[in-house]
Chains A and B, each alone.
Chain A
Amino acid sequence: MTIIKVENVSLTYRVLKNRTSSIKELFRDAVKGRVRIQDFVALEDVSFTVEEGEVLAILGRNGAGKSTLLKILAGVLPPTTGISLVKGKVAPMIELAAGFHPEMTGAENVLFYSALMGRDLRKVRKRIFEIGEWAGVTDHMDFPLRTFSSGMTARLAFSTATDEPAEVLLIDEVLSVGDAEFQEKSRTRMLDLIQGGSAVVLVSHDMSAVRRLATRAIWLEKGIVRMSGNPEEVVAAYEAN
């Protein structure tokens, strides 16, 4: 069964050439007849499908359009042209602590984040203690997040994000976080999730992880699919480049 279907997706950002976004300057430029808008093509005519049970790795240099593609899959960015269809509940693992608020307590943040992920809050309420415990921040759960160290915040975010299995996982460089001990723990959990998910899209610069986990790979360059197929071959070609 096809879980993710991306068809001829293109995305164009409109960028003001001299990024001064004040109305005055826009007006001045318009009067002088030189509104300096430049189209920046982030993705061009990208098509692929992910079948059930597949792990798709996306390779590419910084700025190749990998994160943009993940955002389109997450439904955050609408593509300029083309269609992106995803079946099932999507769990984006992208910059995990982004939804956290420094003034809310650890427990409140866990709840809020889970609500953003569209989870059943009654279930989450019962699990707050376990989530905190797994992250190793049990004693701090009732304090505001601003009193947490950055490592603690990252661990709590990871613990919350990975607490419930999801059908479609979008992973952007968050295979593991924290200190050595926690890294091991989080890596194991992420691997479990990847094996449990019905479809996974993985963005990573860690080639050994891609070789190990992916069943297929896509190599993006400047928004265009340069190569797609067997991960071994794509990684080899990417590394040779």
Chain B
Amino acid sequence: MSLLVSRELTMRYKRSVLGIGWTFLNPLITSFVLWTIFSYVWASRLPGDQQFAPYLMAGVLLVNFFNQSVALSSESIANNSGILTKVYVPPQIFPLSTSLAGLANFLIGLIPLSIVCLISGQPIAWTFPLVIIVGVCLSLLTAGIGLILSVLYVRFDDMRNIINVLLMILMYFTPVFYPISILSPRLQQVIQLNPLNSYLDVFRWAFSNNATATLFDWLFMFITSFASIILGRWVFKKFWPRTVAML
């Protein structure tokens, strides 16, 4: 298992010159681009002591973690069909290890986030260690979704496109680069239903008090993550015999 996670991590950037440096650079660059454009538009709409740069970067990190883990773990069964049809390995470890690798990536990403906090003058809160809870919950959520999608991915050739579209829609429905307050009250209610919004609230609150996390956010986060992993494992177990025959 640990071997699979490290393989997942090192293979992601294997042939690039910067290697693991991309784990730092990717969120930094994305955030910087978004920052240059949107800081003029929305920075003033954030409540007083909140800085836009760390707000933005937290969103980018979290959504990247979610998107990459879901996309990669849904492919993982199909991509490892060579192994799965020859040697008995518990098949769940492929989607699961992808999510764990995503978590490791996310934790590494906290370093550039801290740097951005320091530069922009946003103090890092004492609740910072709670970020790890968000990370763990999010990897449970993505693992559950990944388990379900990985089975569908084998069955339907168009899953890749569907997943990409859904991920993009979900990203725009998550307040990554805009403050939720700019939306109409009605739309805000819709966004509240997006679990990622709750994760993001807790995350931003934990690392530097950069948002308000309500009790609802905490509960929603725990419930969705546990429900997702339980449901994911159940679906996977149920459909695995039929899936493996199609590999």
Contact = CB atoms under 8 A, between A and B. Distances in A.
Interface of A: 11, 13-14, 21-24, 26, 71, 74-78, 80, 90, 92, 94-95, 98-99, 101, 103-104, 108, 111-112, 115-117, 121
Given A22-B158, A23-B158, A103 B244 contact: no
Interface residues of B, number: 24
Interface string B112-139: 0000000000000000000000000000
Interface string B221-247: 000000000000000000011101110
Given A71-B85, A76-B87, A112-B7, 9 more contacts: A21-B155, A23-B158, A74-B86, A76-B244, A78-B244, A80-B241, A94-B87, A95-B86, A99-B87
Interface of B: 3, 7, 11, 14-15, 82-89, 155-158, 162, 240-242, 244-246
Q: Please classify the interface of chain A as helix (H, G, I), strand (E, B), loop, or mixed, using the class held by over half of its residues.
A: mixed
B15 A103 contact: yes
B245 A13 contact: yes
Given A14-B242, A77-B245, A112-B7, A22 B157 contact: yes
B2 to A, nearest CB: 9
Contact of A112 (B3, B84, B155, B241): B3
Question: Which 9 A-B residue pairings sit nearest by Cβ, starting from the closest?
Answer: A75-B88, A98-B82, A78-B241, A98-B86, A103-B14, A99-B83, A94-B86, A116-B87, A22-B158
A78 B158 CA distance: 26
Contact of B86 (A22, A99, A101, A108): A99
A115 B85 CA distance: 16
24 contacts: A11-B245, A13-B246, A14-B242, A14-B245, A22-B157, A23-B158, A26-B156, A71-B85, A74-B86, A74-B87, A74-B88, A76-B86, A76-B87, A76-B88, A77-B85, A78-B240, A94-B86, A95-B82, A99-B87, A103-B15, A104-B7, A115-B3, A116-B89, A121-B3
Nearest to A77: B244
Name which of A11, A77, A111 has the most chain B CB atoms within 10 A of its CB.
A77
B158 to A, nearest CB: 5
A26 B244 CA distance: 20
Nearest to B82: A98
Name which of B83, B162, B241 has the most chain A CB atoms within 10 A of its CB.
B83
A108 B244 CA distance: 27
A232 to B, nearest CB: 31
B125 to A, nearest CB: 40
Nearest to B159: A23
Contacts of B87: 74, 76, 92, 94, 98-99, 116-117
Nearest to B245: A13
